[in-house]
Amino acid sequence: MRRLLAVLAVAPLLTLTVPSARADDYVIDEDHTSVSFQVSHLGLSYVHGRFNKTTGAFSVDRTNPEKSRFEVVIPVESLDSNNKKRDAHLLGPDFFDAQKYPQIVFKSKSVKPVKEGYEVSGDFTVHGVTRPLTFTLKGGKEAEFPKGTQRTGFSTELVIKRSQFGMDKLQGPVGDEVYIAISFEGVKQ
């Protein structure tokens, strides 16, 4: 009985001396991030484009992955399809309507570990429409570069239907399915 009382008396002190695991916070490194897309043109070929700016932050909790979070913001005006006339059309009211809807935003709501990364679910907002989106982020390796700067990175590929986000103009000539590839690095804070 004395031994049990001694253990019970010391137990709270032990919990105070054990350091708690904490998530690592990162800011997206825009110079090492890529968001690209492709969409069918007339069913003959694909037009490729990208967004030249991406910001955001994420937190990775390797001990409790469900506490991890990801948030990405893409300024629509940074769209670049290597054709100024096409870019102006894509940024206009027929498609992104960048004046009215200047950002594409993803905010995670849940994260769970899967082989080689995380399954991330959250809210994806494009053209003023928010819909649920789930995808697998692969990666999570860590590196130090330059010396003293800790990094990690992830990549994913996904397909969305632009019509589900209110961008339904020119259906037929321009495909509804948009193939997206995202690769990003974060710098540990």
Residue 12 pLDDT exceeds 70: no
Q: Partners of 4 in the beta sheet? A: none
Closest CA to 62 of 109, 28, 24, 27: 24
Q: What's the whole-number mean pLDDT along residues 129-135?
A: 98
Per the CB < 8 A criterion, the answer to whether 82 and 46 are in contact is no
Write out pLDDT tens, residues 139-150: 999 999 999 999
CATH architecture for the domain at 21-188: Beta Barrel (2.40)
Residue ranges per structural domain of the chain: 21-188
- Note the pLDDT of residue 22: 83
Closest CA to 105 of 81, 124, 121: 124
Write out pLDDT tens, residues 14-34: 444 444 468 999 999 999 999
Q: Rounded CA gap, 15 and 17, in Å?
A: 6
**CB proximity list for 184: less than 8 A, separation 6 or greater:** 28, 29, 32, 33, 34, 54, 56, 72, 153, 154, 155
pTM of the predicted protein model: 0.85
